[in-house]
Amino acid sequence: MDTIQMIATVCCAAMLVCLWRVLNWVWFTPKKLEKLLREQGVKGNSYRILYGDTKDLSAMIKEATSKPLSLSDDDVAPRMMPFFLETIKKYDRQAQKDLMVLLALASLATVRNMLPAFYLSCSEMISKWEDVVSVEGSHEIDVWPHLEQLSCDVISRTAFGSSYEQGRKIFELQKEQAQHFLEAVQSVYIPGWRFLPTKRNRRMKEINKDVRSSIRGIIDKRLKAMEAGDAYNEDLLGILLESNFKEIEQHGNKDFGMSIEEVIEECKLFYFAGAETTSVLLLWTLVLLSRYQDWQTRARQEVLQVFGNQKPDFDGLNHLKVVTMILYESLRLYPPGITISRRAKEDIVLGELSLPAGSLVSLPIILLHHDKEIWGEDANKFNPERFRDGLSSATKGQVAYFPFNYGPRICIGQNFAMLEAKMALSMILQSFSFELSPSYAHAPQSIVTLQPQYGAPLIFHKL
């Protein structure tokens, strides 16, 4: 009997401890954080258990995306972040103002070596367009799937070189995983739900296993080639492994380098950081140039003046001023990522705010990019001229332009994305003129990145 009582006592104690931990997790800690922030003047909705603001957020997004925008409307912030925008209006603008080893991959010299892969992938896409346009001299093409495929091809070639086809398979799996993840984060949060064997959870687990297995196979093959003395620094994976090898060799300790698991994670990131950003940038740039024909003409004149009908080269691409202005303005109006969030790992002071560990800070990029106090009364209008004298002049010296993040955490792939975009845009302008199709519906939506809800059908004319 004593044994049974002892077991019962232990079980009750264990249950009480678990209950306390759950209550602390879902109620006491969030309420404590809310109290600390309110004491510092930070305003916002009160914490609600489990649901939080998810139901309101989902309802507002559903309403905002239920119909397209006017073709002349580039004020996409209310459509993309209706809940965030309403929160700022409700609790005043101060809330917005309060949220204010891989370097080898980022160098221009490295990106310059990727130019042949850029050109090959762009040539294949344009060749397909020419085949359908040449029959009648003009043809409607939904450019979005083509641009997605272009970015997939470029990343597959530049990241994995000879393992190109296997790289494309990884890309498709990553794309499916992103969709499942988005569905998960928009649903009600229930602790431990992701561990249950639901259909979506099982599929996400399968995808992760397949992606890791494929990347591991490519890495193992590359490591064997390195051991055999073969060249291995001609693509992003090779550069990453070479840089990692030198770091370990220099310090004589593997702790100074990246583990194979870390290399796998970086390879997975190649796709989200490299493919999505560039395809979205090109998509909205083509849409804008279809609407603003005068800027399309100016961009084409510059491209033909620099390259004629010849293959674009590295030096020429970096001297395209008008094209660069257009790309900057496209990134301002339609940033690939509409918000950046960071969680504090420890107590930190941010400006006049003291944020306890666990605080989540979100920077609403798209709201800053459309802020009239920063960009002027034409903030919601397409005006590349604002970048004529560079970024600093356009922002009046303020830190307010975040298409690739900012500071030490700035996207190391920005040179890669900009050069690929310049190459693709230059080759398109050399071959075609284009305009919006009557079937085009202006409906940006955020699915990890800022994408067209109903595609982007454009009418292309052969030059």
- Known binding-site residues for heme equal 411
How many angstroms separate the CA atoms of 399 and 391, rounded?
A: 10
Tokens of 108: 């221009």
How many angstroms separate the CA atoms of 460 and 463, rounded?
A: 9
Cβ neighbours for 162, distance < 8 A, ≥ 6 positions apart = none
How many angstroms separate the CA atoms of 208 and 174, rounded?
A: 8
How far is residue 312 CA from its own chain's centroid?
26
How many angstroms separate the CA atoms of 354 and 255, rounded?
A: 34
- Long-range CB contacts (< 8 A, 24+ apart) of 45-50? 45/87, 50/26, 50/188, 50/189, 50/190
Tokens of 89: 């209006």
How many angstroms separate the CA atoms of 236 and 238, rounded?
A: 5
Q: Which residues are annotated as a binding site?
A: 411
The CB density around residue 276, as the number of other CB atoms within 10 Å, is 25
Identify whether the C-beta of residue 448 lies closer than 8 Å to the C-beta of residue 183.
no
460 forms beta bridges with 139, 434
How many angstroms separate the CA atoms of 94 and 63, rounded?
A: 26
The length of the chain in residues reads 463
Q: Helix or strand or coil: residue 315?
A: helix
The type of residue at 154 is: V
Tell me the backbone φ, ψ of residue 62, rounded to 5 degrees. Answer: -60, -40
How many angstroms separate the CA atoms of 373 and 379, rounded?
A: 9
Alpha-helix runs per DSSP H in 228-313? 236-251, 260-270, 277-291, 293-307
Reported as half-sphere exposure (CB side, CA atoms, 13 A), residue 157 has a value of 18
